[in-house]
Amino acid sequence: MEVNIETPKKNVALGRLVEPARAFTESERGKLASELESTTGLKIYTRSLRGSEKAVVFLGRKKDMNYLGLLVESDQNTPAQLGKLNETTVANRVCKLGLFPADATRASWLREALPFLRPRPLGLQKSVGFGDRLGLATPGHIQALRSFGNKDSDAPMQPIFAQQSMRENARTGRTPQSVMDDALWGVFQEGWEQGYGADADHLKTREDVDVCVEAGYTFYTIDPGEYVDNSASTASASDLEEKLRTLPWEFLESSPNRIAEQLSTKPIDLVGRTKQLSRESVLRAAAKYGRAVAHTVELYRHLEKRATQKGLQFELEMSVDETDTVTTLAEHIYIAHELQRLGVKWVSLAPRYFGRFEKGVDFLEEPPLSLEETLDKFEETFALHVAVSRTYGPYKLSLHSGSDKFSIYPIAARLAGSLVHLKTAGTSYLEALHTLAQVDAELFRDILEFSKQRYPEDRATYHVSAEVERIPASSELSDEDLPGLFDHFDAREVLHVTFGSVLNHPDLRPRFFRSLNEHLDIYSEMLQKHFVRHLEPFAS
């Protein structure tokens, strides 16, 4: 079957052909997919089949390439922009058939034609962010969601499939638009119609905001972490006074005396919990987070203006999780009070919680406390964060670096209810390596040894404590032993934080994608199993 590789115009009237599109029944899908596989030589993703009386669209794969298929009744006129369609016979009917590379242009066709492929705001629904650094994980994520109940609407959390930070994009050679397109193809492949969000994660500048608005993101995570003054918590009286003096009070439309009066002169009712803040705790909170609040407000106002110009609906998250010191009750109250007073509307906030949220591993103890004591302290303080979120919102509490934190999921689910957002990222990359450890031992050994070399430098931008010396040499392990490394604390962290170096290596990158593309079914199965563990605690 001939494949059309011309570059058509972007704005194609595909929607006029396939709308109102419907999903086929399981029986219809199987029969038509079988016919199309015989005709095209592709493996047809049966859940992708969508059609009207005039036309059918579908996704198929051959070798390591996906193709968008368009099947049109022979008497239908098709837009010239679609290019050449070939006459063929499918199910004893003469039709016109076109196959097109599943690229950015064709993604724009589908986004225009099928509304369920466009991301949308999720509001206060319980949600999960599935980070995908490779652009191949969305089918496995959807399969995990489908593991609950008998229909897609039984999924325990609303999904965000397109989610990458600018740091991750820079390290993987991707763009906000390519992340959106990859998520779209996964949603189309699996026929997921329950809606999904798109998270422009850890944005720091106006330029970051602008490029994500152009790509159509619906969830914006503002990261003002570099504006947080961690030393304010323990600064001397004179140093604290100087820190307060230099805050941008004109922009904040306030003053030290005014904010202290608003938050410390009378008890604050936090949904049945009465808390009296001291003047000093309020002023230290302002000194620590004042500039972070100002930066968030600035980016929010810029985002609001750009989104309005584009007719884009969006929601906001503020994240201060990647900082050195814990966000106290007074500090959370200060942040929420100021955002609210300055007119910011937000749906989620990620404080810096008590305990250690390291990458790709479970929740860790905070010495000198034991793990059990640390969990007790996390529960106690998380309950206070929930009370603040209900008082000044409601808004969701976001669990950043949330991958594999199985110890705290039951606590968060029980205390926050629906007001929780779980954010994961690198664990899907780890499951790709886990897949390679099972199917391509030689490649995995090369990646492991290279990652151990890169770790001392790559760890600099992460809060991690793994030590290379504690990881067995790959030469000491049999092929059957390699998957066991994914239960090894140090191996998980080392492999996690070196993803950028691996994916930019001139030899490892092509081998990585070639091998993973040959075993996508196994990768999706691994993701499904892994993410069911993440979702189960939030299912009730």
In this predicted structure, what is the pLDDT of residue 132? 96
The whole-angstrom distance between residue 313's C-alpha and the CA centroid of its chain comes to 18
> 335-354: per-residue pLDDT in tens?
999 999 999 999 999 999 99
Using alpha carbons, list the distances in angstroms from residue 218 to 192, 200, 331, 504, 520. 18, 8, 28, 29, 28
Instruction: Give the separation between CA 467 and CA 490, rounded to whole angstroms.
Output: 6
Active-site residue, selected from the candidate residues 132, 190, 201, 338 = 201
- Percentage of residues of the chain with pLDDT beyond 90: 86
Q: Containing H/E element for 518? A: helix 508-518
CB-neighbour burial class of residue 310 (10 A; exposed 0-12, middle 13-18, buried 19+): exposed
Q: Are 322 and 402 in contact (CB under 8 A)?
A: no
Q: Running DSSP on this structure, what letter comes out for residue 364? A: B
Q: What value does the mean pLDDT take over residues 156-164?
A: 97
To the query of whether residue 201 is one of the catalytic residues in this protein, the response is yes
Q: Are 322 and 224 in contact (CB under 8 A)?
A: no
Where does the pLDDT of residue 91 fall: very low under 50, low under 70, confident under 90, or very high at 90 and above? confident
In the chain, where the domains are located: 15-116, 223-346+354-396+414-419
To the query of whether residue 380 is one of the catalytic residues in this protein, the response is no
> 242-256: per-residue pLDDT in tens?
999 999 999 999 999
The answer to whether residue 139 scores a pLDDT higher than 70 is yes
In this predicted structure, what is the pLDDT of residue 79? 72
For 91, list phi and psi in degrees, rounded to 5.
55, 45
Active-site residue, selected from the candidate residues 168, 182, 317, 331 = 317
Residues paired with residue 304 on neighbouring β-strands, in sequence order: none
The answer to whether residue 4 scores a pLDDT higher than 60 is no
Of 419 and 9, the structure prediction assigns the larger pLDDT to: 419
> 516-536: per-residue pLDDT in tens?
999 999 999 999 999 999 999
Of 123 and 11, the structure prediction assigns the larger pLDDT to: 123
Q: Give the lowest-confidence range in 245-249, 308-312, 320-324, 333-337.
A: 320-324
Using alpha carbons, list the distances in angstroms from residue 123 to 155, 160, 195, 336, 501. 16, 12, 12, 18, 36
Q: What is the pTM of this model?
A: 0.95
Q: What value does the mean pLDDT take over residues 59-81?
A: 88
Q: Running DSSP on this structure, what letter comes out for residue 473? A: P
Mean pLDDT of the chain: 94
Where does the pLDDT of residue 322 fall: very low under 50, low under 70, confident under 90, or very high at 90 and above? confident
Instruction: Give the separation between CA 383 and CA 394, rounded to whole angstroms.
Output: 14
> 452-490: per-residue pLDDT in tens?
999 999 999 888 999 999 999 988 999 999 999 999 999
In this predicted structure, what is the pLDDT of residue 13? 60
Instruction: Give the separation between CA 256 and CA 282, rounded to whole angstroms.
Output: 9
The answer to whether residue 7 scores a pLDDT higher than 80 is no
In this predicted structure, what is the pLDDT of residue 1? 45
**Torsion sign (Cα): 118, 119, 122, 128:** positive
Instruction: Give the separation between CA 500 and CA 459, rounded to whole angstroms.
Output: 11
Of 76 and 434, the structure prediction assigns the larger pLDDT to: 434
Of 461 and 140, the structure prediction assigns the larger pLDDT to: 140
The answer to whether residue 8 scores a pLDDT higher than 50 is no
